[in-house]
Each structure stands twice: as structure tokens, then as C-alpha cells.
A and B are shown apart, each in its own frame.
Chain A
Amino acid sequence: DAGVIQSPRHEVTEMGQEVTLRCKPISGHDYLFWYRQTMMRGLELLIYFNNNVPIDDSGMPEDRFSAKMPNASFSTLKIQPSEPRDSAVYFCASRGEGRTFFGPGTRLTVL
């Protein structure tokens, strides 16, 4: 299995632009998570899905953030409009058989 796949690996954008991060979870996993990692706040959960349905989005910082999971093999995290404080590494993770596996992350820099 290829593991959790994320794209792009790096994204540099200007403040105000729309950013879309993509994730392909491990096949057969029924939970998908989006985490954000920063020096100040560490690893924090933004939102998670169960069987493509959003269950808990209490970690989404603002309305500028939205996430979708149109099918079992694809999810997006969108930031519109982006701000410099959104700069972080965003991880997608999927869970199956009781274990959570992380993707390599997308390093987002908002100038």
C-alpha cells in the first residue's frame, strides 16, 4: 500500500489567495483526519470524517477553512482567503483497524 498520499508537498502563496490541499487515504480506512502542525501550537486536530461524513470540525480555526470528503478515496482542505498565520504543515491521516497513519504533510507558506 502506498500509504496516505498528500499533495502538494509544498505550497507557497500570497495572502488572500485560495489554497486547496488534497489527500488520498489508505484504501479501506473509514476515518480521515486533518491535523495542523506549528511551532507554537504543536499538532492539533482540525476536523475528522467517518465514512465520508464530517463528525467533528471544532478544531477548524475559522470560516475561512473548509474540508470535504466527496468519496472514500479523496478529501480536500481549503483555505479561502489565506493569511500569513495559516503558514504551517498540514497533515492528513487515516485510521483503520485501530491504527492511525499519517501522510507526509503539505508545508504551506502564506506570504
Chain B
Amino acid sequence: GQQLNQSPQSMFIQEGEDVSMNCTSSSIFNTWLWYKQDPGEGPVLLIALYKAGELTSNGRLTAQFGITRKDSFLNISASIPSDVGIYFCAGQFYNQGGKLIFGQGTELSVKP
């Protein structure tokens, strides 16, 4: 079945450090998305990528859609304590109603 492999599973960093996480897939997606989930809440959309090779920023977050449409990375610059949470990549097929296939998540801990 369709799977997204997300790495690393967890990260422990110092406040101010940059962070990088990535996802790979055996499937080609129309859209690649990055979500953040805080404890006790649902995932919140951070960045959506629509075109192969697309590089998009949202504040301190930068994400890129791989040329082959099978991979993506998310970078967070100058991390702060509120960046703590679980980050998920998700692939989306337009011809399947926009249903999302999620990666396993990267749990980020930031030490002040």
C-alpha cells in the first residue's frame, strides 16, 4: 500500500538551532503537505506544496517538493520552545477526494 517514510522519528535540539526533517514515498503525489500536531489537538497545516521542485516558506519554516514528486523536506530555522510538537508529512491525490496519506511523524523537543 501507499506509505510515507518520515525521518527522523524524534529530535532533541537546543533553542536557536535549525531543524531538518524529510519524507520519502514510493508513490507520486499531486500535493505534499506538512502538518504540526500539539498535544491534545488535531494536526494543523503548516505548508502545502503543489508543484515538483516547489520551494515554499512560511515564516521560519521552509519546505520543498522533490522533483520526482516522491519526497519532501521541512526546515525550521532558529527553533524556539513553541516549535515543540509532532510534525507530519502527508501526500495527497486529487483523484481520491484529497484524502491524505500520513508519515509516521517527527517528534521535536526544544531545550530552552
| Chain A residues with a Cβ under 8 A of chain B | 4, 31, 33, 35, 42-45, 48, 50, 55-56, 91, 93, 95, 98-105
B99 to A: closest C-beta gap in Å: 5
Q: Does chain A have a CB within 8 A of B88?
A: yes
Residues facing A in B35-85 (CB within 8 A) are 35, 40-45, 48
Interface SS of chain A? strand
| Cα A93 to Cα B88 with chains together (Å) | 15
- A residues in contact with B92, CB < 8 Å: 100
A109 to B: closest C-beta gap in Å: 14
Please determine whether A91 and B98 come into contact, CB atoms closer than 8 angstroms: no
Residues facing A in B85-112 (CB within 8 A) are 88, 92, 96-105
| Cα A108 to Cα B107 with chains together (Å) | 22
- B residues in contact with A42, CB < 8 Å: 102-105
Please determine whether A45 and B100 come into contact, CB atoms closer than 8 angstroms: yes
Q: A42-B104, A42-B105, A101-B45 are in contact. Are A48 and B97 (CB under 8 A)?
A: yes
Please determine whether B42 and A91 come into contact, CB atoms closer than 8 angstroms: yes
| Cα A104 to Cα B42 with chains together (Å) | 5
- B residues in contact with A4, CB < 8 Å: 42
Please determine whether A100 and B100 come into contact, CB atoms closer than 8 angstroms: yes
A selection of 26 A-B contacts at a CB cut-off of 8 Å is: A33-B99, A33-B100, A35-B100, A42-B103, A43-B43, A43-B88, A43-B102, A44-B102, A45-B99, A55-B97, A56-B97, A56-B99, A95-B97, A95-B98, A98-B48, A98-B98, A99-B48, A100-B33, A100-B92, A100-B98, A101-B45, A102-B43, A104-B40, A104-B41, A105-B41, A105-B42
